[in-house]
Amino acid sequence: MMLSIILAVCVLPVEFNAAISAPPSVDALPSTPIDLSKTFEGYEASFVLVNEKTQTVERFNSKRCKERLGPCSTFKVPHALIALELGVLSDENHLMKWDGKKRWRDALNRDHTLASAMSDSVLWYFQRVAPEVGEERMRANLKKLGYGNQDISSGLATFWLNQSLKISADEQVEFLRKLRTDRLPYGKHALNTTRKVITLESANGYTLAGKTGTAASDDHERMILGWFVGYVERGDEAYVFACNIVADDNASGPHAKKLVFKILRERGILPAETKMYVPNAASDEKK
């Protein structure tokens, strides 16, 4: 009995310290509005930027930053994390064979690993992963992550494609903040591999990680929603961001990415010589 009391006393401070060491949520951080109306001219847009060193947040269109939209291909990030944790995917080299069906973009018409499926935004790869995760485990993991509205009711192979699953820019940032700093309840292998496959560039003292997402109109002719979410690490500084743009056309993930790069360069967060990696398409999810 005495030993149990001693152990309880020893454990409690550790748990308490772990709890108080976590940084405040994005909603609790001091927030400053920023005017990016010229940058986002022609779009309904939101942009969130958290400075982890100063524990502050800047927002363009604060109200819209809380509006939930379909995550589109940005969901490939938690999707990969979940599949790695469950053993559905082994590592970044997990290979899936192309089914031989010709799709609209050349990059889709070949075998893919997790790493290449993430960088080329290969929808069919993740549509094979989803059934192996299964509805029950997918729901449980979205709840575990606190990811958006956690709604997969529109179909296991399509729920993230601007359908039932919705998430806000603020929530995207909060998820990425936790992913970046090992504050998600997942194993090291899953966390490390996920961070590795979303890294776009790591050179000259900084690391840029991110993922685009695009939703097309029902006829697949127009790009109506674009996302770019991610983070930049530079020395002891870290910045986590999320951006979405909406319009009747030309609102794609690659275009959102271009606008975010402009914002980050103007603030000195990214150097001018940063590579602009953009998938060879206006949309990375057009069927």
Backbone angles phi, psi at 228, to 5 degrees: -145, 125
Q: Which residue has the tokens 């029902």?
A: 218
Annotated active-site residue 121? The verdict is no
Query: Could you tell me whether strands 95-96 and 199-203 are parallel, antiparallel, or unpaired per DSSP bridges?
Result: unpaired
Q: Please state the three-class secondary structure of the chain as a single string.
A: CHHHHHHHHHHHHHHHHHHHHCCCCHHHCCEEECCCCCCCCCCEEEEEEEECCCCEEEEECHHHHCCCECCHHHHHHHHHHHHHHHCCCCCCCCEECCCCCCCCCHHHCCCEEHHHHHHCCCHHHHHHHHHHHCHHHHHHHHHHHCCCCCCCCCCCCCCCCCCCCCECHHHHHHHHHHHHCCCCCCCHHHHHHHHHHCEEEEECCEEEEEEEEEEECCCCCCEEEEEEEEEEEECCEEEEEEEEEECCCCECHHHHHHHHHHHHHHCCCCCCCCCCCCCCCCCCCCC
What is the spatial distance between Cα 159 and Cα 163, in angstroms, rounded to a whole number?
Answer: 5
Residue of 46, 73, 168, 283 marked active site: 73
Residues annotated as catalytic (active site), given as ranges? 73
